[in-house]
Structure 1
């Protein structure tokens, strides 16, 4: 005032009588008389506490908005209104790039629709969502970020804005992944370590208990690994371990676990095997043999070529009765048994199971030798009409084993199917049958006979099966109408269209088809009408008790009626008594096969039988 200012104004804090801190804005003007002389002062006080508080909040908000975290502010419809400089630094997008856009501009494609649906459900229900997400920078790089989204609502509870804060967690996630790798993975081979293996084994046991399917644990130890380390050094030993790890991964199925639990010890966890112990053991043995074959191949370790072999122990599991450590111990014991029995081999913990596997392996080896040395024979079982006149025969394979005499097909055909050996065996049967038809064609009493042979699903699935049959028929110069291929109903479950196509191609040249074991499988008129069949064969299980069992008689009557409706002939197999033949005749079945007319026999005995008939 004394300086001549007509008015002054200032803000100052004050304390009220009750101790409350407030802000006052003071304005003062002089009061003058008529001579313009100051006679007093007029003071005006305004409470500006709320204003000061808002000003402080705005200053804090402005500072916070330009913090290290990226920030996005959108309107209620998710259009971007504002971003901060940290957002630009993290994403590469400037304000100009994104204002008016939606946050979808950052979408990496890593998260699916369900993820975003769950995010918005949470945001709408609680007003906040927080989590990790993969987004894409302007450069195209995909990166991980921690994202928090908050809904801003007005006084009536209506959402007006969304505010998102985001932090680039690339470094921290990499560190977290590194910690996880160190905790759960072997640093040399990058395979799961013992800790992760035990966790997966625990889960496998739980899954096995629920599903009933068995699992297997393979314990592998490299033979004479210490010698390699001692002679060529640990660096070379490490190279071998890394290559073994790669070969193991390439030998197992997707979903199986390969782990390194220390030194030269590896463990393979197989899941979802058969519910039956013998089948599960067979499946395990197939994978184990694949591992053995792979690990027996030479290794190139720098400038050194090295040969290494494994000893493998196996145990099967299917419930929680045996603890985790006990399962590993069983496989370990089996592995040491493998070492004591010569190394580079496979042994099961269960002695009985080992016996089954050993028997199966020996039979497979001997079966391969049988193919090579042609140890098979065809036996012929006569087929006759209602008058007992011969119509032909079914050719049935036998294995003339040099030590175990004659082995019936039920003992080796299933193994041949599993191993694929049925293909060369089936081709041998076709060749031998065609050769016999060529011989029969030379004599009046046998030139009209029809010879039936069984064909497996695996044979039929070959892309060149039709060509194989045609070529064989042409090479032996036989009448194709005298060759009948017998199929089983189970073959018709898969790829019915492909089977019909191949049957039609062979039917064109005159080859006949019979459906074997009819009534025991999956037949329906739906596909029977599509098949170019000439005959249905009534399974012997219905013939056995036909004289005394009303159900069997009803089934046989239905099969015959069905065949008649499709214009197919019918033959009954397993006919052993005159009573059975008579009962079948009464049902209009006119063709028969069984011990009543002749057992399966070698060709010379069959020729003798023909001459008598």
Structure 2
């Protein structure tokens, strides 16, 4: 969704309520500061709040919203500002919890809209089902890891947290070198097995707080947050986890890997961070 023109709900409350009350998805309309201007009962139920709480900003004791890695989400003002600045949609998986106990998991789709000439954010909420991630195109079907779209969302969120909390974000790219030659020698099925093996190693061998994603056909990405350092230790760990030999038939083959990394305090853009990491890979990476 790019630009949608609707009438300010405060002026046509009955029409707005009639429009959204019968929907089976949650709807929120917020201003640029994240203040909820209008909502429906489905949104309140998914968020484990009352409509009054949503509209006033009140939250019960212990109520929390986190991403699906368990990390606290940026506040709604930050997300609204991000969507409006970018002028594009943003899809984020959310976990609603109270006193640390998960209550519901939902997808939140943020869209920049125009309401009587004013910038607003329309948030569509849906309950998470087993196929939601795939239908959103966010999970890689081969490895089950987050795909490129979700990686960009996660990296953007990490940069926001780094800026606001004085932390660092490191992006590590891992290129499976000579995958074409591997496929030619052993077949595409073996090549797929290799990618799945590397994905499992990265997912299981690294911290649960890291985001591991499939960035491209023969590339993986890892996003990590840390208080200090240059990120080299994280890159070394990634290489060690992924670099063990792989059994191919009766042979033991060590995957050829190129690794690059970029560490930032969050003031670089997503595309700047990715471009720097890709440039390092292009010039040979760090073997």
TM-score, reference length from structure 2: 0.53
In structure 2, the partner of 1:197 is 151
Q: Distance in 2 between matches of 1:302 and 1:258?
A: 27
- Is residue 333 from structure 1 mapped to residue 287 from structure 2 by the alignment? no
Residues 1:291 and 1:319: Cα distance change in structure 2 (over 3 Å): closer
In structure 2, the partner of 1:178 is 131
Q: Distance in 2 between matches of 1:269 and 1:330?
A: 14
- Is residue 299 from structure 1 mapped to residue 253 from structure 2 by the alignment? no
Q: Distance in 1 between matches of 2:245 and 2:162?
A: 37
In structure 2, the partner of 1:314 is 261
Q: Which is richer in helix? A: 1
- Is residue 287 from structure 1 mapped to residue 234 from structure 2 by the alignment? yes
Residues 1:337 and 1:119: Cα distance change in structure 2 (over 3 Å): same
Whether the aligned pair in 2 keeps the contact of 1:219 and 1:331 (CA below 8 Å) is yes
- RMSD across aligned C-alpha pairs, in angstroms? 2.8
Q: Which is richer in strand? A: 2
Alpha-carbon distance, 1:208 to partner? 0.8
Q: What do the CA deviations read for 1:248-298 (whole angstroms, capped 9, x no partner)?
A: 123322211111022111111111332xxxxx21xx222222222222211
User: Which 4+ stretches in 1 moved above 6 angstroms?
Assistant: none
Whether the aligned pair in 2 keeps the contact of 1:222 and 1:265 (CA below 8 Å) is yes
Whether the aligned pair in 2 keeps the contact of 1:312 and 1:335 (CA below 8 Å) is yes
Q: What do the CA deviations read for 1:137-191 (whole angstroms, capped 9, x no partner)?
A: xxxxxxx9xxxxxxxxxxxxxxxxxxxxxxxxxxx978x5414224111001111
- Is residue 251 from structure 1 mapped to residue 197 from structure 2 by the alignment? no
Larger RCO of the pair (alpha carbons < 8 Å, separation 6+): 2
Whether the aligned pair in 2 keeps the contact of 1:191 and 1:260 (CA below 8 Å) is yes
Residues 1:180 and 1:232: Cα distance change in structure 2 (over 3 Å): same
TM-score, reference length from structure 1: 0.26
Whether the aligned pair in 1 keeps the contact of 2:158 and 2:225 (CA below 8 Å) is yes
Q: Distance in 2 between matches of 1:190 and 1:297?
A: 21
- Is residue 227 from structure 1 mapped to residue 181 from structure 2 by the alignment? yes
In structure 2, the residue corresponding to 1:184 is in which secondary structure? coil
Spell out the pairing of 1:258-273 with structure 2 (5 A cutoff): 258-273=212-227
In structure 2, the residue corresponding to 1:268 is in which secondary structure? strand
Question: For structure 1, which runs of at least 5 residues remain unmatched after alignment?
Answer: 1-110, 123-143, 145-171, 275-279, 346-613
Whether the aligned pair in 2 keeps the contact of 1:261 and 1:267 (CA below 8 Å) is yes
Residues 1:304 and 1:181: Cα distance change in structure 2 (over 3 Å): farther
In structure 1, the partner of 2:164 is 210
Alpha-carbon distance, 1:210 to partner? 0.4
Aligned residues: 170
Q: Distance in 2 between matches of 1:226 and 1:312?
A: 18
